[in-house]
Structures are given as C-alpha cells and as structure tokens.
Structure 1
Amino acid sequence: MALAIQLTDDAMKELQDTMIASATKAFKLAAKQEALPFWMKKGEAKIYANVDDKTLTKFIKDGLRVSVKDGVQRISKKSIDDYYAVHEI
C-alpha cells in the first residue's frame, strides 16, 4: 500500500534542493574518482576510497593490498574495490 505524503510548496522545494545538492556531490566525487589512474599514490587512493589518511592506514594494516617496487608504493583501484567487497555486510 502506497503512502501519500502532502508537502507544502516550500517543503517540496527544500527537499528538491537537498536531493539535487546530494546528487551533484555524488556525481562530482564519481568524476574525481574516475579521473584517477588505476595505480594510485596514497593521496589518490584515499580520494578513490573516500577516506582520510588515518583510515587508509588502518585499511592497509587490515589487509588492503599495496604494491611496492623499488620502494615506490601504489594501490590499485581493484585492490580498494576488492577490500570493500570483502568487508560488505
């Protein structure tokens, strides 16, 4: 059974503005993430994972895979996607 909700014009406008702002933020984040290279520096990886430095470090200690070659560390988009997939509830 569908529930009909009555909103004032002002409330409807505020709801629409909130939804548009939320969608705009999500699309901007998605575009920023998509523009990142497949193999990322830690700064890029935290943008892709949408976390701060401390959380990325915690993820790495918890098993997020990091590739190291000649002391250069890179994290792949696939590693982050896999890490999140393993930790889904």
Structure 2
Amino acid sequence: MMEKGCVACHVVPRVRAPIARVGPSLNNMGRQAYVNGLLANTPANLIRWLMDPPAVNPRTAMPNVGLTQTEAEDIAAFLYALPDG
C-alpha cells in the first residue's frame, strides 16, 4: 500500500505514514455498507474497485494505480482482516 501510494490519500490502519486527508480513512472497511458509495461492500466489488476505480465511477478522484489482481486481492484481504473490519 506504501508502494502503490495508497497512503498519499488515505489513512491506512497499521501502516505507518503521514496522516492523509484527501480520501477517506480505510479503517472499518469490512463494516462499511458500500465501496465508494456505489457498490455493495463485498470482496469481489472491493477488488473490482481497487483494480480500476475510474471504470466503476468515472467521476472519482481515485486513480487507477495499476494493481494486479493479486495485489488487489491482498489489499482487500488486509482491509477486511483489520480488527475494526
């Protein structure tokens, strides 16, 4: 998440980085009803979103950072495994 720049915009629990306030905090991801307010919060939808946010919502400020399927799956698993998730 550091390498792909997630922490430039998001607070990512358990990842040490300066506090970012551009995008929402990623804590409690597993308890959110929606991904980006559009998709039901399921692992498949979160992975879809992570892989290409503008394809899901062309008006999003979140860029496509070029995640592979495996990277998106790993990030989704990490977010859902957090204690608050």
* TM tier relative to shorter chain: under 0.3
TM-score by length of 1: 0.22
Higher share of residues assigned strand: 1
Larger radius of gyration: 1
Higher share of residues assigned helix: 1
TM-score by length of 2: 0.22
